[in-house]
Structure 1
Amino acid sequence: MGSIIMGFSKMSREEKIETLINHYKLPRDFAERVAEYRHPEKQELFDDFSENTLSNFYLPFGVAPNFLVDEQTYVVPMVVEESSVVAAASRAASFWAVNGGFKTTIHNTLKKGHIWFAWKGPASFLNPMPKSMFESLSESVAPLTEKMERRGGGIMEMNIFELDDHPGLFQLEVGFETIESMGANFINSCLEEMKEPLKQYFRSHIELKQYGEPEIIMAILSNYTTKCLVTSEVKCKIDALKAYSADLNPREFAEKLKRAVDIALADTSRAVTHNKGIYNGVDSVVIATGNDFRAAEAAGHAWAARDGRYRSLSKCEITEDGFFRMELTIPLALGTVGGLTRLHPMAALAQEMLGNPDATELMGIAAAAGLANNFSAVASLVTTGIQKGHMKLHLTNLLKAMSATPEEKEASLDYFSDKTVSARAVEEYLKKIRGK
């Protein structure tokens, strides 16, 4: 076991690099390689985004045009390294743009946070939560919520619950409306400020005081935003699906696609991959706009298991009057101000490309991207198979990894235009033409 590096965070960047090279026996060109991706003008900004920053990690910033969402057309920015994601989203966007577009329903926009505490008294004293407690705690954070309230937000509700199977452990749940901000820092600041006033409330009310003072365990927002839900849906005549049905007739394609979605609703193993495909689209937009993709995914996967079994987040139906319909409902707490949404120059640019949407509009756009990728992926699965299109797009990466020359690349792209792409097939083809 090697020695521990002491005081690393206090070192200069150069000292950190030199220490890493010596301590972990890194290659001597390590410093030059990480320096290559530092920004010549804005690096100080990027350095402050995280701790111990040495360089930047580039991901492609792509766009999917022709997204018609709630009668407005967008070019959607997508940050993702998987080559087929943007292509699939773009194709689906163009298809649905001429078939009614994506329709959005915002069910609610409340975020929530919790103060967890232990108390020896009966839960009946706290549920329902006394009105005076709500007023006292709200008043205690008034200086923090004043600006948010002027914008129409603030604290909207509070409830106290005893934790199932853990008598004496309680959850104070606070519902927040944060308007255009995702609100994590605002929520956490309010909850922290409420801890001492909560204890004081128990001290000052005799019916609670007799059971002793509560022990505050922690205060933190919840990323399980079940009251911040968005639904995106698409609908068209079954005959319109001819563009996606390949060798199937549109009715067969629609029925096969529906069965594939039904399998993801019933089988967890399939649902995980199915939902991953949804977040290919959602995450790409969330990252591009400077939002927290980890929070969005965690909430979505928990929502997928809300009935005790992990299921598909999307649903599909074929109506009696000959329509195909697909919908996606997910919890999605996004912001268009605060955090990196405006501070990161590319996130700010992404917001501008979208016309500087408000938070609910961005929720709809991100959900539409998720549904677009889901539709495209399942459509491929039930027709040509997922690998044909994916590996075609991956061909360029394979050629680069195999150090193909421009001439070899051109020949390979032509050769594989009607053939199945695989790493082995590409390697064998390059050996063949190099041998000649």
Structure 2
Amino acid sequence: MPVENSRIKGLYKQTVQERLKLVAKAAGLTDEHVQALSNHGELDDVAADRMIENVIGTMSLPVGVATNFVIDGKHYLVPFCLEESSVVAAASNMAKRCLGHGGFTTNNDEPVMIGQIQLLDVEDFEQATTNILQAKHELITFCNDVPSRMIALGGGCKDLEVRRLNTHMGSMLVVHLLVDCRDAMGANAVNTMAERVASRLEALTGG
């Protein structure tokens, strides 16, 4: 939950409803959000408040917020839904220690996964590699020639790599499909592409 300031002094001393009001105001929660957090199910405020720190509601488990988080220069209250005590307090304390040093910074890599195809019994590795690289564009196009929301959103196979791998069982040619999965986990899409292109790689390499 983005907030102007994640430092809420003495939050743990408040009642559940008082905390909820403070957090709702700080984070700009709507009435619907507040109502959802106030729907206790089978767990009431008193029981939830004894289980973890900074309770503001329940989801059949206590919902608490860790304070003091500054991430990439912005303040956040971090929701926790769990039954174990001390976790929220520890997270808040750790974040408070980091606060004086600028908090936390994040970075991320491109959402690329690798599909690996191993080709055995290749007689001429140099020629096989050349054949694959010469057909790279066609192979990538073939991998992406399937109905896919991921591809429609700009993802899909973007590149491929070829290398020789020497093992105690002999040498093999390894092809990596570099697949941009966007926001998807991508395992099914990558496996489908690898299985789809495998026979073409066999034809190009004799493996």
Question: Which residue of the partner structure matches residue 194 of structure 1?
Answer: 197
> 1:119 is matched with which residue: 118, 121, 134?
121
Query: For residues 191 and 198 of structure 1, do their structure 2 counterparts lie closer, same or farther at Cα, with a shift above 3 Å needed?
Result: same
Return the letter of the residue paired with 1:140. F
AA paired with 2:200?
Answer: P
Rounded to whole Å, the distance in 2 between the matches of 1:183 and 1:138 is 16
Cα distance in 2 between the residues matched to 1:102 and 1:132: 45
Matched-pair identity in %: 28
CA distances 1:229-261 after superposition (whole Å, capped 9, x unpaired): xxxxxxxxxxxxxxxxxxxxxxxxxxxxxxxxx
Map residues 49-88 of structure 1 onto 2, 5 A cutoff: 63-78=65-80, 83-88=85-90
Do residues 106 (structure 1) and 108 (structure 2) align? Answer: yes
Which position in structure 2 is the counterpart of 1:434? Answer: none
* 1:108-148 deviation digits (Å, cap 9, x = unpaired): 43221211221332322244674333223212222337643
What is the TM-score with the length of structure 2 in the denominator?
0.57
Report the Cα distance in structure 1 between the residues aligned to 2:108 and 2:124, rounded to whole angstroms. Answer: 38
**Structure 1 residue 151, shift from structure 2 partner:** 2.3
Aligned pairs for 1:6-25 (under 5 A) are none
Provide the aligned C-alpha RMSD in A: 3.1
Residue 172 of structure 2 aligns with an amino acid whose one-letter code is L
Q: 1:182 aligns with which of 181, 185, 191?
A: 185
Given the superposition, is the C-alpha separation of residues 121 and 106 from structure 1 closer, same or farther in structure 2, using an over 3 Å criterion?
same
What is the match of residue 140 of structure 2? 138
Q: For residues 353-403 of structure 1, give each alpha carbon's deviation from its aligned partner in whole angstroms, at most 9, with x where no partner exists.
A: xxxxxxxxxxxxxxxxxxxxxxxxxxxxxxxxxxxxxxxxxxxxxxxxxxx
* Corresponding residue SS for 1:163: strand
Q: CA 1:116–1:82 in 2, change beyond 3 Å: closer, same or farther?
A: farther
TM-score (norm 1): 0.29
CA drift of 1:73 comes to: 2.6
2:17 maps to what in 1? none
Contact 2:117–2:176 (CA under 8 A) maintained in structure 1: yes
Q: Which amino acid aligns with 2:171?
A: G
- Deviations 1:60-118, CA, capped at 9 Å, x for gaps: 76543332111223333456776444432221123333541211233443221211221
Q: Larger % of helix: which? A: 1
**How many residues in Structure 1 have an aligned counterpart in Structure 2?**
147
**Residue 89 of structure 1 aligns with which residue?**
91
User: Residue 164 of structure 2 is aligned with which of 162, 165, 168?
Assistant: 162
1:194-234 Cα distance to aligned partner (Å, 9 max, x none): 2223234x2xxxxx4xxxx32xxxxxxxxxxxxxxxxxxxx
Structure 1 CA distance for aligned equivalents of residues 158 and 114 of structure 2: 10
Q: Secondary structure at the match of 1:103?
A: coil
Structure in which a larger fraction of residues adopt strand: 2
Matched-pair contact (CA < 8 Å) for 1:128–1:159: no
Alignment-mate amino acid for residue 170 of structure 2: P
Distance 1:124 1:78 in 2: 55
- CA 157–99 in structure 1, closer or farther in 2 if over 3 Å, else same: same
Q: Distance in 2 between matches of 1:144 and 1:101?
A: 44
| Residues 344-383 of structure 1 mapped to structure 2, 5 A cutoff | none
> Letter of the aligned partner of 1:191 in structure 2?
A
> Can you list the C-alpha shifts for 1:274-325, whole angstroms capped at 9, x where unaligned?
xxxxxxxxxxxxxxxxxxxxxxxxxxxxxxxxxxxxxxxxxxxxxxxxxxxx
Change (3 A) 1:86 1:126: farther
Following the alignment from structure 1 to structure 2, what is the Cα–Cα distance between the partners of residues 133 and 61? 55
Q: Where does the alignment leave 5 or more consecutive residues of structure 2 unmatched?
A: 1-59
- Equivalent pair of 1:64/1:90 in contact (CA under 8 Å): yes
How far the C-alpha of 1:178 sits from its partner, in A, is: 1.2
How far apart are the structure 2 equivalents of 1:59 and 1:118?
53
State the alpha-carbon separation in 1 of the partners of residues 130 and 64 from structure 2.
50
Aligned counterparts of 2:163 and 2:82: Cα–Cα separation in 1: 40
- Mapped partners of 1:183, 1:119: distance in 2: 30
Structure 2: distance between partners of 1:74 and 1:148: 31
Structure 1 residues 119 and 71 mapped into 2: Cα distance closer, same or farther (>3 Å)?
A: same
- Which secondary structure does the structure 2 equivalent of 1:169 belong to? strand
SS of aligned partner of 1:106: coil
Counterpart code for 2:193: C
Q: Which amino acid aligns with 1:94?
A: K
Match of 1:327 in 2: none
Q: What is the distance in 1 between the residues matched to 2:103 and 2:151? A: 35
